[in-house]
Structure 1
Amino acid sequence: MTHITITPADDLIDVPRRILVGGSQADTLIGLRTHTARGDGVIWTSRALYRADADGVIDLSRDAPVEGDYSDVSPMGLIWSQTPVETGKREVFPADVSDALTTRVEVFDADGKCLDEAVLTQRLMAPGVQRREMREDGCVGTLFVPATPGPHPVVLVLNGSGGGINEPRGALYASRGYAALALGYFKTPGLSDYISNTPLEYFRRALDWISRELQPAHGFIAVSGQSRGGELALLLGATYPDRIKAVIGYVPGAVVHSAQNAADPATGREGPAWLIDGKPLPHLWENNRTASWKPFDDGPPPHRHERAIRTALLDQEAVERARIRVEQIDGPVLLLSAADDGSWPSSDYSRMVVDKLEQQKHAYPVNHLDFDQAGHAIAFPYVPTTQLVYAHPVSGRISTGGGRPAANAHADEASWRAVLNFLNAATSTRAKEQA
């Protein structure tokens, strides 16, 4: 009798599963389909057909589909190839990160009849991880603390131009042994709806709170940010090297940018994003002789924001004025970029950072992973990667982050492994230095 097994059936979201179907007739076509209710209540689905081997077995870690929503061998292809039944939905995480994601995986025959089913459960929070809201010194965030005894090394988690608080990433960091403060800095209750005129002193207060209240193990605080948060991670590392001892930049910028798509309409997209001592930091669009929004604004959607950024990068004097002084970072740096980034040229930006740090003989490891054919939305495994076109959550502009689903799925998986290895090495080195 045809049956399906998933191993492990219930685990953290970053754990790959082995999906096996056995008991079928040799060389027969067998289908698998999935059904997941995700964070906004929308159902996400996928399906694929496979040919059983001589023993009547299908092994997704070995077998590519004959046809379906993905093509090559991929043990978790049925998850990352999911699409929402309601067009345009993008939310893949539960609203409450303590809730598990459950996926029903059905086996069906040539007539569509269900032969067996199993449940695959993905969790963002390991047992015992503690979550609590942080409202201190004017800062707004969510703290996640591992189940193991402290003190712990700490990661400050920053979202991008969509704003809000990145609780899923914070919860997963804590599940892997790091206290994590997922910090909002705009589009969060109690804060501005826009990125415009955000003071860096806000983050300094959060860093001081971490040092005072959490007393990080060996004084280790890393900052992890994506997109605008990646730009901000590098900027904070360069501005507050006394606090930050490692920087992780997901699809980061190497220069200070204007407010762009997350701008307050009153100051516009060429207005400043970051302030220090009440004064705007020089940004790429400021007094730029070549910058133009036309490549982004003109033509049908989805728009590639990266095309406008490239016009601004032609003015080398403006680039140097806006360049983040990464040589001031006091710790190792990990950069994760995408070769088909539709939002901005994160590959080129990451190389700019690497080149500067090499030129300055940076005293710490600098790692750069550039993912071919991947786009801007590098997250972590294993989540759907199919929604490449979206309305920006602040500007509403229909844009694309670029990439291909399979390449984005590979980037999600490989980048998270790299992050965990990077943090393990950085914390071990820090512990030896402090011993």
Structure 2
Amino acid sequence: MFAPLSSSMLSHVHLHLLPSASCLFDEPVHVKVTGLRSRQVVTLRARATNERGVVFRSAAIYRADGNGEVDLCRDASLCGSYEGVEPMGLLWSMRAAAPHKYFHWSEAISPHVVRFSVHDSVDVEDEERGVALAEATNVRHLMGEGVTRVVVHLGKYTAVLFTPPGEGQFPGLLDLSTFASEKRASLLANKGFMVLCMPVFYEKAANIKYVELDYFEEALCLLKQHPKVDSDRLGVIGRCKAGDIGLSLVSFVPGVRAMVWINACSANSAVPLHYKGRQILSSLSMDQRKVIPTSDGANIGKFVVGNPEDEENQSSRIPVEKTSAHLLLLASEDDLNFDCKAYMESIVARLRKAGKDNVESVCYPRAGHLLEPPYGPYCHSCVNGFISIINLWGGEPRAHAHAEVLAWRKVEEFLRSRLMLM
């Protein structure tokens, strides 16, 4: 627990969250402290709890200026969870006390709540040390005002449809995730897209023998037939296994204008892919003996999957040459789950060879596999839901956090340019 607030200190020390203490999850917040002594050294802290009850924390030490102010957009952290000028550092540097924890937040109904505080101690380790001079709560919403959420059942799958405010016609977007997650979909709905999100795996991955592309085609049809959707403006987005399913979808099923592929594979991974009652792609070869254990108990899985360019994997390679969709490929250079940069380059080369110019690609140095909407806690390692081992995801925290900001802007820019009516 934090030390109780001093009423005498509360009268002159204030922690400001600008422009408002309430914002959308993907919006930055300006943290500023006023009323301190000139050149006073303080500890700023952030604390949040994920949907599974795991507490995440960060702390950084700052020195006030001559006017007794600390401004995170201007001032450098001296030490702590991060160093240097990092306006959103208290958010992306939050970690759980136990190792290998991911900040799970799968449903969009509840906001992400972060408690900021400023303390008169100079100790980033002991949360109970020192008096809390001021505090403020940042409520970070996933669903903006007027966005609606409806659960949709598609055979074995449970999907969620997010509708922006207004009458439409909206561009329709199918947001695929390897396992159920509504975060990205709800945030894209805030930007004017009608988004249907659904997982690739509807139960434990180990129990699934193959994936049927038909269900994802059905999801596209649902979007296409919705009265508020412009059926000529459909898109798909997915990361990891969901990314290769999305790539398969736009390669085998016509009618999609744009697809965003994030840290995925150029071949069908994990399990065979079926369509209209038959197997259309085998699964990319895997060799679990190539898992590399690390000293902190996590594992590097980057070399487990085979090379899609090898002859033995020809039947798993996704025929991207068939797609007429515009593709945005985003790859993290330090991804330790897939060799995504190589996969990205292979897709680009194959499209160019086929005489197509429907692809953009961006590579982010020192970023890891879990490239997500910005301002959430960076995840170093956690359990891989498919193979049930602890994965090391890669990336340097600061560079990864900055890459998420850039990637998120790129995704919005691409989808607007390809799906929005200008």
Question: How many residues are matched?
Answer: 402
1:345 paired to 2:339? yes
Deviation at 1:129, TM superposition (A): 0.8
| Aligned twin of 2:3 | none
Matches within 5 A, 1:181-330: 181-188=196-203, 194-214=207-227, 216-217=229-230, 219-240=232-253, 242-257=254-269, 259=270, 272-283=271-282, 285=284, 292-296=287-291, 301-309=297-305, 312-313=306-307, 316-330=310-324
**TM norm structure 1:** 0.86
Aligned partners of 2:15 and 2:34 also within 8 Å: yes
What is the distance in 2 between the residues matched to 1:304 and 1:207? 35
| Aligned twin of 2:30 | 18
Deviation at 1:214, TM superposition (A): 4.5
Among 399, 402, 411, the alignment partner of 2:403 is 411
Change (3 A) 1:181 1:194: farther
Among 133, 141, 152, the alignment partner of 1:134 is 152
Deviation at 1:299, TM superposition (A): 7.3
* SS class of match (1:281): strand
After superposing the two structures, state which structure 1 stretch, 3-12 or 272-281, moved more: 272-281
After superposing the two structures, state which structure 1 stretch, 372-381 or 200-209, moved more: 200-209
Deviations, residues 36-58 of structure 1 (Å, cap 9, x unaligned): 12211222111100111233222
**TM norm structure 2:** 0.89
Percent identity over the alignment is 26
What is the distance in 1 between the residues matched to 2:228 and 2:113? 36
Bigger strand share: 2
| Aligned twin of 1:392 | 384
Structure 1 spans left out of the alignment, 5+ residues: 260-271
Which letter does structure 1 place at the counterpart of 2:417?
A: A
1:381 paired to 2:374? yes
| Aligned twin of 2:126 | none
What is the distance in 2 between the residues matched to 1:213 and 1:74? 43
Change (3 A) 1:101 1:401: same
Change (3 A) 1:139 1:219: farther
| Aligned twin of 1:157 | 175
What is the root-mean-square deviation in Å for CA atoms of aligned residues? 2.3
Deviation at 1:308, TM superposition (A): 2.0
Deviation at 1:138, TM superposition (A): 5.3
Aligned partners of 1:284 and 1:318 also within 8 Å: no
Deviation at 1:210, TM superposition (A): 1.7
Among 359, 367, 371, the alignment partner of 2:364 is 371
Which letter does structure 1 place at the counterpart of 2:264?
A: P
* SS class of match (2:398): helix
Change (3 A) 1:335 1:398: same
What is the distance in 1 between the residues matched to 2:31 and 2:236? 35
Aligned partners of 1:221 and 1:245 also within 8 Å: yes
Deviation at 1:361, TM superposition (A): 3.1
Change (3 A) 1:128 1:388: same
Aligned partners of 1:248 and 1:335 also within 8 Å: yes
Aligned partners of 1:186 and 1:193 also within 8 Å: no
Aligned partners of 2:26 and 2:375 also within 8 Å: yes
Change (3 A) 1:81 1:297: closer
1:424 paired to 2:419? no
1:60 paired to 2:72? yes
Aligned partners of 1:157 and 1:166 also within 8 Å: no
Change (3 A) 1:88 1:26: same
| Aligned twin of 1:267 | none
What is the distance in 2 between the residues matched to 1:423 and 1:136? 25
Which letter does structure 2 place at the counterpart of 1:41?
A: G
What is the distance in 1 between the residues matched to 2:99 and 2:291? 24
| Aligned twin of 1:168 | 183
Change (3 A) 1:108 1:367: same
| Aligned twin of 2:52 | 40
